[in-house]
Structure 1
Amino acid sequence: DSDGDHSGVCESLRCVKELIAAVDSKVNEQEKKRKLREVHSRTDSKSIMRMKSGQMFAKEDLIRGRKLLHDGLLQLKNSAGRLKDVRALLLSDVLVFLQEKDQKYVFASLDQRSTVISLQNLIVREVANEERGLFLITAGTERPEMVEVLASSKEERNTWRAIIQDTMHFMEKDEDEGVPSETEEDRRQQESRAKEIRGEHTVLCCTELSCTVLY
């Protein structure tokens, strides 16, 4: 009889824990919706960004069928090595970088590169000589593009990398089963091209450093 009572108590505790987890999840979801609405309301309606695919991304696209999955403050590194503070938004299928201008958000400027990055065919790699850094490489295009971002710590960098990769994984699972996935050869070619880009980036940095020393 006591065994039955103990089993009943355990089942009740399990139900309570599940209920608390469900409530926490719902509260977290509502908080993310509130954050995205707040960012949307503060974004300049005139700001627009061309994605690598050529598609234009505007203010309304932030909330059009998209959910906020993660957000935070990061830094973008431009081709001259200077850092820019940005607010990063990981949405259902894109990663968006915004900067503040006249108390409003606008899509961040980064040389001639897009700061609205599709998660499709995205390659995420750690920066070898910077424990806080990530390379975001847009593959699957004729001219892949690379963006270097820095978090405030190694731990935060790891969190961003994990959440981005998890989101990409879920995107792949959600694709129609009838559509063939990329072949292993396609993936190898993308990885090879990504390594070439990182190599070109390293050579450029070394060249700039040499010039600075000579100067």
Structure 2
Amino acid sequence: MRQNLSSLQATADMLSTTQSRLSTGKKVNSALDNPTNFFTAASLDSRASDINNLLDGIGNGVQILQSANTGITSLNKLVDSAKSIANQALQTVAGYTSKSSVSTTIAGATADDLRGTATYSNGSAQSLGLQDGQAAPGAISGTTLLGGVAGSKTGATVTGLATTTLLSALGTDKPVAGNSLTVNGHTVTFANGDAPA
């Protein structure tokens, strides 16, 4: 009977050990079972944990590289689109034609007023074409009427005379050197001397 009891106790111990091994997945669960195997297993568990951490880091690196690859692919598509647009622009016919350059300089011309300012001294102007506000430019003579609002005559300067001839506006006096006439903001000053050849 004693032998049976001892056998039952050994079986119970073995059953407890087997259950412990099944629940933990380890053959050696404490240093009491087998000190050498226990510490070897603990060292191997630590290495396995380190390797798992490295594997996680490698997985994260792979994800980063895949994201970078996706970004580079998108950039390549954008560059291809830009190339296509540039090629279309190169093939499009220009909406202008080149003209010859301007070779005449206009004295006093500005970006806002290309008419410039021309002055004459010691000469005479003949057959000037002026716009009288009624029709196309015509030559001025002593009988030409100047249009505009009635003005005044002050000294030797005549401005804004309406429906009167220039000579009658000056009276019986002929223009002399230094007299000036202003028409549409442009002043003509009379000078002595022979007419240019």
For the aligned pair, the TM-score class normalised by the smaller chain equals under 0.3
Using the size of structure 1 for normalisation, the TM-score is 0.21
Using the size of structure 2 for normalisation, the TM-score is 0.22
Q: Which has the higher strand share?
A: 1
